Amino acid sequence: MTKQIRQLDRVVIRFAGDSGDGMQLTGDRFTSETAQLGNDISTLPNFPAEIRAPAGTLPGVSSFQVHFADYDILTPGDAPNVLVAMNPAALKANLADLPRGADIIVNTDEFTKRNLAKVGYQASPLDDDSLAGYVVHPVALTSMTVGALAAYQVSKKDAERSKNMFALGLLSWMYSRPFESTLRFLERKFAARPELVAANVAAFKAGWNFGETTEDFAVRYEVKPAKMKPGTYRNITGNAALSLGLVAAGVRSGLPVFLGAYPITPASDILHELSKHKRFGVLTVQAEDEIAAVGAALGASYGGSLGVTTTSGPGVALKSETISLAVALELPLVIVDVQRAGPSTGMPTKTEQADLNMALYGRHGEAPVAVIAPRSPSDCFFAALEAARIALTYRTPVILLSDNYVANGSEPWLLPDVESLPDLRVEFATKPNGEDGTTFLPYLRDPETLARPWAIPGTAGLEHRIGGLEKADKTGDISYDPANHDFMVRTRAARIETIPVPDIEVEDPDGDARVLVLGWGSTYGPIGAACRGVRQRGLSIAQAHLRHLAPMPANLGEVLRSYDKVVIPEMNLGQLAHVIRARYLVDAISYNQVRGLPFTSAELETTLEEVLKNV
């Protein structure tokens, strides 16, 4: 049968099933195939917090959404064009997100009375008119996979588990994806069990061949490669990019990198990734708790390493006393907070810009630190380098605010030229700096950076006191003098406020916009996509995005006052908006949602159009 091939400029696919159906692996492999073809990509994994939620239930649904296009894209897509639903729960949990006319590929084998009852279906939606607005493709994924593997030496259970590879094969055929890398991946993954290699490869090929031969799929689609800047690319998640950024910081500074971490969702992957890079001088320690982890990292900085600790919101709360100690000691320390929904344990696998207030103010006393936030998965690499640069240059803790959306999402990353990366080398104190030439003053500051000297313990002649009590200026002796305390508090604040950071850049193509949309962190993609949509309707709007949240860019106040209205979308209840109003006396319009999901560009676009109508 000769099938029609139709060209598309973009597609959004969502794989959804039980948390044991391998949807994350399926989505990851489809993404890798798509990256090989050269499309621009953005992904959104979404999975339960439970290790193994009850099978076939709504809380147990796991999904992976991938958006790919022949042009540059900014988000994982608002709504799927295709839903692969492995069971009734996956269909019910995701149906409301589908636009009319979307394709739904359903695994009919799982639509049993028992599974339907688990999610509240009185009758199968495949048998009534409830799906009339969609293009439904019923496929017996499980039984067809078991049948395709009948000749292989695998159990029925292992054969059924391979149904995700059947689905991957079908979608790879449907969207003309290359598959050689997936076959090589399966060979590596199941190298110890050759029978599983053969079975999974056979399941994948069975899905591909089913698409080729069935009459239900009469059209095959192609999405051409995107026009991207020349160079070598790899698909990368935010956590992986951040990890490599820390490795690069170690290499460019010439310092060992020490990671003290306690496992916590969604930051644990950074510990896993960094543990692979011992050859670059990276040492990782899984501590017994969050407090021990940050204490070890601060101790490593005291000893002359680049100390790093990774966590999420609950861990930052536990680390706050030691971060305050790092402020008093004036030592470099990078604290990575991969934010998740709170409060307390909250929703560990869902995203939220939850911790800006805690990063800015969540310590006892006057304890200012630098705060930066990456805007996308690949930007995590450069944000990690910037965090290390500030920490090392200004001898300060730096909090890097990633979040679950950025950390687990992925996109193509243009590998940078190593020589273009910043030189982060530091000079340790090697000799006394007192006027008499024999004493060492640990708090004698560099007049430009206000940073104190960094003396490695054991350096002859540089013995000095260290601890959490207030220090006397220059000598570091314990001091209760009121005037000295006032001076030290103001000096520590000035050390952060005077860090030079790049001016904020404004995207205002027409140059006549009266409304500015200001964002930070992972809202960059949805805001950018929404502004594109508004401009395509002939309206003018400006966009600016903050990477440095403490200190803020020197020109930010001038930029804010240049517009009639400022809109600040955030995945919280307006934490940045409160800061902007207090600091710059700008009556910013706060647009907030805290659903554990990123904004859609469509909802932001609607909101921005309403604001523009009232300017």
Query: Same domain for 245 and 350?
Result: yes
Domain boundary among 420, 451, 468: 420
Count up the domains in the chain and report the number.
Answer: 4
What number of residues does the chain have?
615
Q: What is the pLDDT of residue 423?
A: 97
Segments forming the whole domain that contains residue 441: 427-500
Query: Same domain for 528 and 514?
Result: yes
Asked if 382 and 406 touch (Cβ cutoff 8 Å), the reply is no
The Cβ of residue 385 has, within 10 Å, a number of other Cβ atoms equal to 22
Give the predicted TM-score (pTM) of the model: 0.95
Query: Same domain for 264 and 395?
Result: yes
Instruction: Specify the CATH number for the domain of residue 589.
Output: 3.40.50.920
Q: What is the pLDDT of residue 212?
A: 93
pLDDT, tens digit, 9 for 90 and up, residues 464-509: 988 999 999 999 999 999 999 999 999 999 999 999 999 999 999 9
Neighbour-count burial of 247, counting CB atoms closer than 10 A to its CB (0-12 exposed, 13-18 middle, 19+ buried): buried
The CA distance from 208 to 414, in Å, is 31
For every residue of 71-123, DSSP letters joined together read S---SS-SS-SEEEESSHHHHHHHGGGPPTT-EEEEEGGG--HHHHHHTT-SS
CA dist 369 → 449, 472, 490, 498 (Å) = 14, 20, 13, 12
State the average pLDDT over residues 429-433: 96
Residue 229 lies in a domain: no
- Read off φ and ψ for residue 146, nearest 5 degrees: -60, -40
pLDDT, tens digit, 9 for 90 and up, residues 152-207: 989 999 999 999 999 999 999 999 999 899 999 999 999 999 999 999 999 999 99
What tokens appear for 608 in the block? 């921005």
Confidence of residue 519 (pLDDT cuts 50, 70, 90): very high
State the average pLDDT over residues 125-141: 95
b/e map 438-457, b = 16+ CB within 10 Å: ebbbbbbbeeeebbbbbbee
Query: Same domain for 394 and 522?
Result: no
Residue 33 has pLDDT above 90, yes or no: yes
State the average pLDDT over residues 376-395: 98
State the average pLDDT over residues 587-610: 96
Domain boundary among 420, 448, 474: 420
pLDDT, tens digit, 9 for 90 and up, residues 269-295: 999 999 999 999 999 999 999 999 999
Helical residues (DSSP H) of 518-573, grouped into ranges: 524-536, 556-560
Residue 1 has pLDDT above 70, yes or no: no
State the average pLDDT over residues 231-251: 97
Asked if 501 and 553 touch (Cβ cutoff 8 Å), the reply is yes
The CA distance from 582 to 586, in Å, is 8
Q: What is the pLDDT of residue 465?
A: 86
Query: Same domain for 400 and 354?
Result: yes
Confidence of residue 3 (pLDDT cuts 50, 70, 90): confident
CA dist 483 → 68, 234, 443, 535 (Å) = 60, 55, 16, 56
Average pLDDT taken over every residue of the chain: 96
Residue 51 has pLDDT above 90, yes or no: no
Q: What is the pLDDT of residue 206?
A: 97
